[in-house]
């Protein structure tokens, strides 16, 4: 049988003492309920007597003590106790429930967010800010435009804008098919395949050596071509030294 907690036993003993003091009949010293108590069913009294006869030591709590504790905790005014079952029985099942919520509602932290609205909203605001900056900047600062083009006088050297000088530099080294299609296509295809070749989920640069190397090679390759085309190409798009022949570059 399930052991009754100590605080319930103490509460039952205090209720028995109070009931015995109010009726003038002192409770037994051992905490046993009187055998003539009409509120205790006869079969429970018989079970308690047989249990006491089988128990030699005083360490175990008899069944009668447990039943008497529950009965004594009931109202002493007589009649059926409040909340009693059929026939006035007051047996109850006791259980221990741990404190706290049964269902864990704590969200598991993740390092991913939805593209909309977290990313696209920020990008849209940034695009609006850049557009507004360029609009007001163009009001107060004139664009660095040259004079009208003269078809009878071709500038020498004739250079493309700086962001196309890398491609123009490649055209001086390779066939137009190779310089304009093959090499840029391979570079773009390698950048497209980079996320599939490097599936490391870490965001730390020291853990993404492959992706960092691919992007560094791409940027340095294009930056070197732009710098050569900007500062080391003179008349006829020939190779010159800017500190000796001058600078042939305009924005």
The domain limits of the chain are: 6-88, 114-143, 154-251
Measured CA to CA, the distance from residue 143 to residue 6 in angstroms comes to: 91
pLDDT at 145: 75
Q: Give the other-Cβ count within 10 Å of 44's Cβ.
A: 18
pLDDT at 56: 47
Listed in sequence order, the residues at least 6 apart from 20 whose beta carbon sits closer than 8 Å to its beta carbon are 26, 27
Q: At what angle do helices 42-54 and 63-72 cross, to 10 degrees?
A: 140
Which stretches of 112-208 are DSSP H helices? Answer: 120-140, 165-171, 176-177, 183-197
CB 67 within 8 A of CB 42: no
CATH class for the domain made up of 154-251: mainly alpha
107, 110, 112, 117: CA torsion to nearest 10? 30
CB 70 within 8 A of CB 5: no
- The pLDDT profile of the chain, 251 residues, written as one tens digit per residue, is 556 778 788 888 888 888 888 765 544 444 454 445 566 777 777 877 777 777 644 544 544 565 555 555 555 444 545 555 555 556 665 666 565 555 656 666 667 778 888 889 999 999 999 999 999 999 988 877 777 888 888 888 888 888 888 899 999 889 999 998 999 899 888 888 888 888 888 888 888 888 888 888 888 999 999 999 889 998 888 989 989 888 888 76
pLDDT at 33: 47
Q: Give the other-Cβ count within 10 Å of 238's Cβ.
A: 12
DSSP string computed for 14-30: HHHHHHHHHHT-PPPTT
Q: Residue 239 in 3-state DSSP?
A: strand
**b/e map 212-233, b = 16+ CB within 10 Å:** eebeeeeeeebeebbeebbbbb
CB 44 within 8 A of CB 55: no
Rg (CA), the chain: 47
CB 71 within 8 A of CB 37: yes
Listed in sequence order, the residues at least 6 apart from 8 whose beta carbon sits closer than 8 Å to its beta carbon are 69, 73, 94
233 forms bridges with which residues in the sheet? 239
């Amino acid at each position: 049988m399930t052991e009754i907690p100590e605080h319930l036993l103490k509460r039952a003993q205090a209720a028995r003492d109070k009931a015995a003091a109010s009726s003038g009949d002192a409770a037994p010293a051992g905490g046993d309920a009187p055998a003539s108590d009409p509120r205790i069913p006869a079969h429970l009294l018989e079970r308690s007597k047989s249990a006491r006869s089988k128990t030699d030591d005083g360490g175990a709590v008899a069944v009668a003590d447990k039943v008497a504790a529950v009965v004594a905790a009931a109202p002493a005014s007589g009649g059926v106790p409040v909340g009693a079952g059929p026939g006035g029985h007051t047996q109850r099942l006791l259980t221990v429930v741990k404190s706290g919520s049964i269902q864990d509602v704590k969200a598991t932290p993740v390092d991913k967010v939805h593209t909309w609205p977290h990313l696209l909203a920020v990008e849209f605001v940034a695009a609006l800010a850049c557009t507004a900056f360029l609009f007001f900047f163009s009001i107060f600062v004139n664009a660095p435009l040259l004079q009208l083009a003269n078809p009878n006088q071709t500038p020498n050297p004739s250079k493309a804008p700086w962001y196309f000088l890398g491609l123009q530099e490649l055209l001086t080294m390779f066939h137009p098919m190779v310089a304009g299609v093959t090499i840029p296509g391979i570079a773009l295809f390698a950048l497209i395949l980079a996320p599939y070749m490097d599936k490391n989920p870490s965001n730390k640069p020291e853990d993404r050596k492959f992706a960092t190397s691919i992007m560094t090679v791409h940027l340095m390759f294009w930056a070197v071509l732009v710098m050569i085309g900007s500062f080391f190409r003179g008349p006829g798009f020939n190779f010159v030294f800017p500190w000796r022949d001058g600078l042939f570059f305009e924005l």
